[in-house]
Amino acid sequence: MANPWWLYMIECRGGGIYTGIAIDVDERFKTHVAGKGAKYTKMNPPLRIIARQRFPDRRSAAQAEYAMKRLTPLEKRQWAFTMNGGIVMGARRSVEESLESICPKSAAGAPVLPGGPGA
């Protein structure tokens, strides 16, 4: 049986999110950190892995990657948050702090939801 493939998301310096696929996510992350990964992570150094999902083969992982890259940054963060059971991977944050990182607040302090007022 072939090794499973993984869809992964990395938070980068400046708040950007890089999405990719790999057989070994931890090794691929080390490659990105060393500046030998994708162009995007060379220009925007990776900070942490925020989510990963297992797939049975490369094809299904690549299809998921394609779909993920079509999402907005907020939708990607929401996906990462739910994939991790409400915990932001690699961080020691409260649920409230984690929600704030994926759902910014308006000047009045109210959450700004996609498609809602202030979005």
pLDDT: which is higher, 105 or 3 = 3
pTM listed for this prediction: 0.71
How far, CA to CA in Å, does 118 sit from each of 22, 53, 91?
A: 37, 32, 28
Residue 101 pLDDT grade (very low, low, confident, very high; cuts 50, 70, 90): low
Token reading at 44: 């925007």
Give the relative orientation of helices 73-83 and 95-102 as an angle to the nearest 10 degrees. 150
Residues 9-67: tens digit of each pLDDT: 999 998 899 999 999 999 999 999 999 989 999 999 999 999 999 999 999 999 999 99
Q: What domains can be seen in the chain, in order of their start residue? A: 5-102 (3.40.1440)
